[in-house]
Amino acid sequence: MKVLVSDIGGTNARFAMAELGRGAVLLHDSVREYPAAGFASAADAARHFLDELGERADAAVFAVAGRVRLEEASITNHPWQIRTSEIGAALDTSRVALINDFTAQAMAISRLRADDVVAIGAVGWPGFDPRGAQTFAVIGPGTGLGVGGLLVRDGRCFPLETEGGHAGFAPSRPQDLRILECLMRRFGRVSCERLVSGPGLVNLYASVCEVEGVAAESLSPAQINTRAASGDGHCQQAVELFCAAFGSMAGDLVLTLGAWDGVFLAGGVVPKLLDSLQTCGFREAFEAKGRFSAGMAEVPSLAVVHACAGLLGAAAHAAETYDHCVVPVFAHLAPQPVADSLGG
């Protein structure tokens, strides 16, 4: 059975083919990435993908950056409305599954190898063990902020679908309060996503400039990151605030889910900020949980550097849904170029 798998965010849409029952489930030469703005709908993008490859799909799994309800979903940061009926009509199949993108990221945890992750801080990951009871969290900035979890019980994986990125931001330092005041004047209620995302980094930079009483330049997330690395003080403050807020949110998620086996940092922003995450206060904020600080110090925080973890998780979901089998490790996918933007 050939399955189209997709990972659709607010900026880009990724597609690949999976062939269930084969040793290499994801076909390494089939991965494509398109700007979502280039298509009227997800169905159009999927049809274009299949036409480009000269393929057909017996089934499809769409992992989307938005809440899924009654076989429909809206992309939170893009105008697409996605319905399984429309996808099925475009692909000529009735077997279409629509899942949250962080359901896919959670499912991918069971397929990640040691070299697919980088530990942030001194605590490493002992690896995935399906034989035991494990609880993981997953959080990732991109165009928005995705949040999910994975429960492993009796050899089965149960992903948790959430919209935790829209929970309210909780400041924990005096500088956080000043930034929060700036963001409240602009947005009213301030969610975590307003800080920890590609656009969130821009919000932080603008807020830093407002606090300092200087005019903010019109900079992209990638430009802010580049300038921070070159020594620009305002951009450095924005990146430090981003990493500390990210660490604090990831730690809160561990406490909320009881994810003592680890939190995975996913999404397109993470690989581009690896050095900053190691040095700019992420782990300090992650562990700073009062009476639970000692326990938090033992929890791994792991940056996912796998080229296409969302597609990997969508394939894992496809295997459980359509093939009732375990998806083999995604070992042969060559990394594909991605957009040079922290908002991907």
The pLDDT assigned to 287 comes to 98
Binding site residues, as ranges?
6-11
Binding site residues for ATP, as ranges?
6-11
Q: Quick one: average pLDDT of 296-309?
A: 95
Record the pTM: 0.86
Residue-wise pLDDT tens digits, 141-200: 988 899 999 999 988 899 998 889 999 999 999 999 999 999 999 999 999 999 999 999
Q: Are 271 and 305 in contact (CB under 8 A)?
A: yes
On average, the pLDDT of the chain sits at 90
Task: For residue 329, name the pLDDT band (cuts at 50, 70, 90).
Answer: very low
The pLDDT assigned to 326 comes to 43
Output the six-digit token pair for 282.
């992420």
Q: Are 48 and 39 in contact (CB under 8 A)?
A: yes
Measured in degrees and rounded to the nearest 5, phi and psi for residue 272 equal -80, -15
The pLDDT assigned to 332 comes to 34
Among positive and negative, which fits the CA dihedral 84, 192, 246, 222?
A: positive
132 vs 245 pLDDT, higher one: 245
Residue 233 burial by Cβ neighbours in a 10 Å radius (0-12, 13-18, 19+): exposed
Residue-wise pLDDT tens digits, 38-63: 999 999 999 999 999 999 999 999 99
Residue-wise pLDDT tens digits, 18-39: 988 754 477 878 999 999 999 9
Residue-wise pLDDT tens digits, 266-302: 988 899 999 999 999 999 999 999 999 999 999 999 9
Which amino acid, one-letter code, is at 259? A
Calculate what percentage of the chain has a pLDDT beyond 70.
93
The pLDDT assigned to 343 comes to 38
Q: What's the CA gap between 139 and 148, in Å, rounded?
A: 6
Output the six-digit token pair for 115.
């070299």
Which amino acid, one-letter code, is at 154? D
Element (H, E) at 210: helix 198-212
